[in-house]
Structure 1
């Protein structure tokens, strides 16, 4: 097993820079998830770790060894791709053992390791089948088995669940996480799905436009986002934002949203009166009340059994409320939103940075 170090990683195609001075330390045995919107550079970063993309500037180290000039097959990594990349003319057994065959391993050793991996993945009864005879989830397990038999220092996953249906994705993300914990192998996992990131990761790297925005545990990012991008990206449903300015009144600090609406901030919040801010609160941290600071009208009511999610129109902007109450509202109802003051997040309107956050 091994840790992975990325130091000042830059990738450039002509005049287009894809990543900007990326620095990440992946701990030995850690499950690290790279997450961000499409085009943010996360897959390119993964491919540079794998050696499938050339690094313009910076260094990648695996197990303390700089691997910039080492070929992919000599880096002791195994990669699981989005499209499985299985050979259609080979059986499951042949697909899983192919890389070992290329290494020149003896047939008996290949068979032992393939059957051992198949037992772990629940594929023991499918070894003589061809990929076309398998379901999507089974094909993904074969792709994972092909990685396991190599016993690599690092697993790399490039959006491996994006081709699966929603229910199977939930099952497979649990299986991948349990497998990684069982093997204890360092894993770097790329996804654009922040729910996958939150449920699977030891730590998450949030990226935007080729830059690392924040690194932390799922709850650190959820509770203490460093800027508007992280706050809006992490969490489902997404965080609500209202714009306003800071105001000192009644012995405390408030966000003045409009002439009729202001939100009192907890005692620990600091800021200069008159400063333009964006105030954020999560859907589960706001209640619908008969009176309150934010008036609006119900636009949509969505029920999924455990929760009721409402979209409330507030001066042309839709805010989200999530509650465990059974629905008693209908479209057009007048309501008031009352956020929990201890759960409010303040961001500078110009820079987007969280007020009071530690510098990056």
Structure 2
């Protein structure tokens, strides 16, 4: 196991810059998830750590070694890909032990290490099967087993669950997390799915257009997003961001205008009368009331344990989550009350958090 340090890392493809001076520190034994929309640079960053992409400038260290110019085989890492990358003509046992065979390890020791990894992953009954006879989840376990037997300092996962169905993804999330808790190997995991990031990570790195937007624990990012991008990306459904204007501010109260509706909130020193802001509120922090924001029901989505409702508020859309089974029909006009102690305020121009 080892810590991973990325300092002022840049990646250009010709004249096109895709990674812009990123700094990331990953502690020994930590499970870090790189998350962001398609094209944000997360897979490129992972591939640079792995040695599959050249570094334009900056430093990558694994433990106390600078690895910029080392080949992947010399970095003491193991990577699990989205596509499984199994040899179809080899059995599960042969696939898992192939890297050890290349090291010319003793055959009995290879068998022992493969058997140990297979036991951890529940693959013992399938060791003599070929990949074509396995389910998607079993193939992914084989790919993980192949990584485990190498006993690397760092595991790298590149969207390993994206080819699986929804139910299997949930199961595999749990299995990967339990595997990390058992092995305590430093892990860097890439996904575009923020639910995966929230449920699996010790620490999340949110990337956008080749820049780091915020680094923190899942709940840090959820409860105190640094800017509007993180606020809208972390959380499902995402945070509602409503255009607003600061009407007036005194020592205790700030009046905020949301179109035709004015609300009073606790004054904050960053607020200036006349400034444009965005008021953020999570879907679970809205409730039906007799007064508040006048909205019209657009779509009702029962999920079983909850009801997700999309409302129209003036020119903007608002999503709310209710645990109660309200009888709401499209076109109905109701009021939403905002839990004011749960709101988030962002600068209207920069998008930066205002407290």
- Could you say which TM-score interval applies, normalised by the shorter chain? over 0.9
How much has 1:353 moved relative to structure 2? Answer: 0.7
Distance 1:319 1:269, change over 3 A: farther
Change in Cα spacing, 1:109 to 1:319, as seen in structure 2 (3 Å) is: same
Query: Is 2:143 aligned against 1:140?
Result: no
Q: CA RMSD in A?
A: 1.1
Distance 1:335 1:275 in 2: 29
Residues 135-161 of structure 1 show CA distances to partners (whole Å, capped at 9, x for unaligned) of 000000000000000000000000000
Are 1:96 and 1:145, in contact at CA under 8 Å, matched by a contact in 2?
Answer: yes
Rounded to whole Å, the distance in 2 between the matches of 1:101 and 1:176 is 25
Query: 2-side partners of 1:10 and 1:231: how far apart?
Result: 26
Please identify, of 96-105 and 327-336, the stretch whose mean Cα deviation from structure 2 is larger: 327-336
Q: Is the counterpart of residue 310 in structure 1 residue 309 in structure 2?
A: yes
User: What's the secondary structure of 1:265's corresponding residue?
Assistant: strand
Rounded Cα–Cα distance in structure 2 between residues aligned with 1:342 and 1:270: 17
Task: Please give the per-residue CA displacement for 1:304-329, whole angstroms capped at 9, x wherever unaligned.
Answer: 11111110111232210101011311
SS at structure 1 position matched to 2:195: helix
Query: What is the deviation of 1:290?
Result: 1.8
The answer to whether the 8 A contact 2:249-2:267 is kept is no
> 2: CA distance between counterparts of 1:264 and 1:167?
44
**1:205 correspondence with 2:230:** no
Shift in Å at residue 247 of structure 1? 2.0
Give me the TM-score of the superposition, normalised by structure 1.
Answer: 0.97
State the 1:245 CA deviation. Answer: 1.0
User: How far 1:270 moved relative to its partner?
Assistant: 3.6
Question: How do 1:154-303 and structure 2 match up within 5 A?
Answer: 154-248=154-248, 252-258=253-259, 260-268=260-268, 270-292=270-292, 294-303=293-302
Q: How many residues align?
A: 354
Shift in Å, 1:43: 0.1
| Stretches of 4+ aligned residues off by more than 4 angstroms | none
- 1:354 counterpart residue number: 353
Between stretches 75-84 and 342-351, larger displacement belongs to: 342-351
CA–CA distance in structure 2, aligned partners of residues 24 and 265 of structure 1: 36
Deviation per CA, 1:155-185, whole angstroms, max 9, x where unpaired?
0000000000000000000000100110010
Deviation per residue, 1:283-314 (Å, 9 max, x gap): 0001111211x111101111111111110111
> Would you say the 8 A contact 1:253–1:269 is kept in 2?
no
Question: Alignment partner of 2:266: what SS?
Answer: coil
Cα deviation 1:37-87 (Å, max 9, x = unaligned): 000000000000000000000010001110011110010000000000000
Q: Secondary structure at the match of 1:37?
A: coil
Show structure 1 runs of 5+ residues with no match.
none
**Structure 2: segments with no counterpart, 5+ residues:** none
**Structure 2 CA distance for partners of 1:174 and 1:187, relative to 1, 3 Å:** same
How far the C-alpha of 1:248 sits from its partner, in A, is 1.9
Distance 2:220 2:234 in 1: 11
